[in-house]
Amino acid sequence: EVQLLESGGGLVQPGGSLRLSCAASGFTFSSYAVSWVRQAPGKGLEWVSGISGSGDTTYYADSVKGRFTISRDNSKNTVYLQMNSLRAEDSAVYYCAKDSSNGVAFEFEFWGQGTLVTVSS
């Protein structure tokens, strides 16, 4: 059974940093791309960042480029999202999502339950 478990969310002050983790199981982790997708309170889904199965290709939304860094450790079946220079508008539930292929195709077969990030002073 495919499982994705996010962790690392919490309350952080504007300008601060946070690292999210997504621990995966139930599939050949290195064969699939993974993305982070967020949903701000009362808003829709927003794709944030994606990484290929091998980890050699990464993608970012313009809204987070230069502030967020996605990475993965295939030996630990885990994807990370390092979030720096956080802003109030980054407050959201962050989901990690397994793609349908090794490359980032933005077709998310499975999702985690999400982790809440709140940026506030």
Partner 1 sequence: QSALTQPASVSGSPGQSITISCTGTSSDVGSYNLVSWYQHHPGKAPKLMLYEGTKRPSGVSNRFSGSKSGNTASLTISGLQAEDEADYYCCSYAGGRGVFGGGTKLTVL
Binding positions for partner 1, rule: CB under 8 A: 35, 37, 44-47, 50, 59-63, 95, 97, 100, 104-114
Using the minimum distance from each CB to partner 1, give the nearer residue, 17 or 101. 101
Among candidates 50, 52, 74, 46, which has minimal Cα distance to 60? 50
Among candidates 99, 3, 118, 116, which has minimal Cα distance to 47? 99
Using the minimum distance from each CB to partner 1, give the nearer residue, 56 or 62. 62
C-alpha span between 98 and 83 (Å, rounded) = 20
Least distance from C-beta 59 to partner 1, angstroms?
5
Least distance from C-beta 26 to partner 1, angstroms?
14
